[in-house]
Chain A
Amino acid sequence: MTQWISKLAQRLLLLAALAIVGALLCATMVRFAPGYGVDERDLDFRFSQASRDAIRNEQKLNGGIVRYYGSYFAGLVHGNLGTSTFLQRPIAGLLKERAPLTARAVVFGLATAWMAASALSLLTIRFQTWMLEYSATAMTGLLIALPTAVVALLCLYLRAPVFLGIAVITLPKLFRYQYNILAQAHAQPFVLAARARGVSSNRILFRHVIPVAWQPLMALLGISASMALGAAIPMEALSDSPGVGQLAWLAAINRDLPLLTSITLFVTLLTIGANFLAGALQEGRS
């Protein structure tokens, strides 16, 4: 138990360190991006020369690199992620507004993909008929061969909800991972011994294969969260769903780097959090 708590504390420390490194990288990307420090008002000739000089002075005051990083981190600590240059609104507010929609779509999408992939891989391993194996491989192979944006368009065409699109994009990769893990566990000598002793196929699957495959399957949880979040961008962008994925796309199209880097930091922390949870579950189980 003490060992588990120490590992948990280590992981939490790592998470905090990663958050700081991520924030530093984001701040650096914004600071050194082309166009940083250029104020549109400087090009507006309706402002007098004195006003433009005042704007330039203000830029100079805020321009020091140490001061810049200092103010960025101070803002982060207070929940201030800056202002979107494209939407002219506070980034924290935009994320707060849009995150629930994306979170719902990702959670439902992941749940659907996990259920479908698990059912398919368990059936394929349980019955081991070439027909089932080939059909599952062909279906997932075809889905993997389609760009995610095309799958998103197909879902849009079929008027499928965003979560279903995320599920369809995540399913084939998830199935392949799950199938490989289960097949590896199923090929173990003790499974062969159990079969030789006449143990039923269902009992072998649920008593011998799944418990062995459980740990690597848990590790998949974190990876699948990353896949689902990635799938949210084309899904939301193409189906005009006002979530974080669409916001990231709009920020990229409009070169709104403060917004884009904040979203990337937010999503990175979410995925690392999901990986952390998967790791903790894995360790708790072991």
Chain B
Amino acid sequence: MNAQRILRLFCRGTLLVIFALGLFAGSFTHYSYAHQFRELPNTAPSAAHLLGTDGLGRDLFTRIVYGTRVSLLLAPAAALLATILAAVLGGIAGLSGGWLEKIILASTDLSMSLPLLFVLIALRALLPLDVSPILSVVATFVVLGLLGWPASLRVVWAAAKHLRDSDHILLAQALGYRRSQILLRQVIPCLRPIFLAQFWISIPLFILTEATLSMLGLGVMEPLPSWGNLLRGSEDFSAIAANPWRLVPLVVLVLTVICFQFVFQSSEELA
């Protein structure tokens, strides 16, 4: 077993643990993420509060665990949405060719040249001020999913175009298979590793973008925690210096993104 394989196994294991932590958040902590221990603001780690409390007296470990659920469950959902959009549009462009291909590719180039963060904050600001925290989470990730497809589309398009001219598709056509049969039995199975790779690549990207949006106050709304809004407090450097455990959300986020990078490297190789 070589070092790279061991590293990938370690990354998969770490991701599994972090996912389990978010999924079964209620089993790891008995506090609510919004409960305020008003007599205990900014306390150090203790047996009762594993990572201490924040400025409002909320248990930091509980908030990280629930924040993991929000970030790690919704980023894959947004990645799925972006991958489906890229698969459908890229597949149509690659397999059909002609003017439809040109239109789809031109709109992809346009979308790729837009600075994502500017468009994201413009769309996010369209929402009314009084949205509930749950709606703010859903809106943030839906917008991410709707805007995150262009790079994946290019990859899917290239693969679909290559497939269109391949011998086995030509043979299937010559044997009289229907278009739907060719699509379901030949095209989709061949493109599946590419869809999978694009899905894995998008997840860390969406996690990071959500974190930046939430740090700027335009992502997930309080009191619902996410890795991004947990990092909002890190602007106060003196508080961080005095309570270094406040950086735990950042460590978890960076570790997760790095693990995703290693895992998706193997998915890319597969594709």
Residues of chain B within 8 A of A33, CB atoms compared: 126
Question: Residue B117 at the A interface, CB < 8 A?
Answer: yes
A30 CB to closest chain B CB, in angstroms?
A: 10
| Complex alpha-carbon distance, A17 and B70, angstroms | 40
| Complex alpha-carbon distance, A35 and B257, angstroms | 38
**A146 contacts B254, CB within 8 Å?**
yes
Interface residues of A in 232-253 (CB under 8 A from B): 233-234, 237-238, 248-249, 251-253
Residues of chain B within 8 A of A153, CB atoms compared: 234-235
Residues of chain B within 8 A of A268, CB atoms compared: 113-115, 118
**A249 contacts B115, CB within 8 Å?**
no
Residues of chain A within 8 A of B261, CB atoms compared: 141, 144-145
| Nearest-neighbor residue (CB-CB) of B262 within chain A | A141
Residues of chain B within 8 A of A249, CB atoms compared: 121, 216, 218
| Nearest-neighbor residue (CB-CB) of B115 within chain A | A230
| Nearest-neighbor residue (CB-CB) of B116 within chain A | A230
Given contacts A153-B234, A275-B113, contact A253 B217 (CB under 8 A): yes
Interface residues of A in 195-210 (CB under 8 A from B): none
| Complex alpha-carbon distance, A230 and B114, angstroms | 9
Question: Residue A260 at the B interface, CB < 8 A?
Answer: yes
Which among A52-60, A112-120, A160-168, A221-229 touches the partner chain?
A221-229
A94 CB to closest chain B CB, in angstroms?
A: 16
Interface size on B, residues (CB 8 A): 38
**B119 contacts A264, CB within 8 Å?**
yes
| Nearest-neighbor residue (CB-CB) of A253 within chain B | B217
Given contacts A142-B258, A233-B118, contact A147 B125 (CB under 8 A): no
**A261 contacts B122, CB within 8 Å?**
yes
Question: Residue B221 at the A interface, CB < 8 A?
Answer: no
Residues of chain B within 8 A of A233, CB atoms compared: 117-118, 121, 216
**A255 contacts B250, CB within 8 Å?**
no
Question: Residue A272 at the B interface, CB < 8 A?
Answer: yes
| Complex alpha-carbon distance, A149 and B208, angstroms | 9
B77 CB to closest chain A CB, in angstroms?
A: 19
Given contacts A147-B208, A249-B216, contact A271 B124 (CB under 8 A): no
Count how many pairs of residues, one from A and one from B, have CB atoms less than 8 Å apart in the complex.
Answer: 111
Given contacts A147-B231, A251-B125, contact A157 B118 (CB under 8 A): no
**A149 contacts B212, CB within 8 Å?**
yes
Residues of chain B within 8 A of A18, CB atoms compared: 110
| Complex alpha-carbon distance, A229 and B119, angstroms | 12
| Complex alpha-carbon distance, A144 and B204, angstroms | 10
Q: Mark B100-119, 1 if CB is under 8 A from A, else 0.
A: 00000000011011111111
**A229 contacts B115, CB within 8 Å?**
yes
Q: Mark A254-265, 1 if CB is under 8 A from B, else 0.
A: 010100110110
**B254 contacts A271, CB within 8 Å?**
no
| Complex alpha-carbon distance, A153 and B116, angstroms | 20
Question: Residue A34 at the B interface, CB < 8 A?
Answer: yes
| Nearest-neighbor residue (CB-CB) of B121 within chain A | A252
Contact of B231 among A141, A142, A149 (CB under 8 A): A149
Known pairs A237-B216, A238-B235, A257-B125 / 13 extra A-B pairs, C-beta < 8 Å: A145-B204, A147-B228, A148-B208, A150-B231, A230-B116, A230-B117, A234-B215, A253-B217, A264-B118, A268-B113, A271-B113, A271-B114, A272-B110
A–B pairs, 18, beta carbons within 8 Å: A29-B126, A34-B128, A142-B254, A145-B261, A147-B215, A147-B231, A150-B234, A222-B113, A229-B118, A233-B118, A248-B118, A248-B121, A253-B217, A257-B125, A260-B125, A271-B114, A272-B113, A275-B109
**In the A-B complex, the 9 residue pairs with the closest CB atoms:** A149-B215, A147-B211, A145-B257, A230-B115, A252-B121, A230-B117, A252-B125, A149-B212, A229-B115
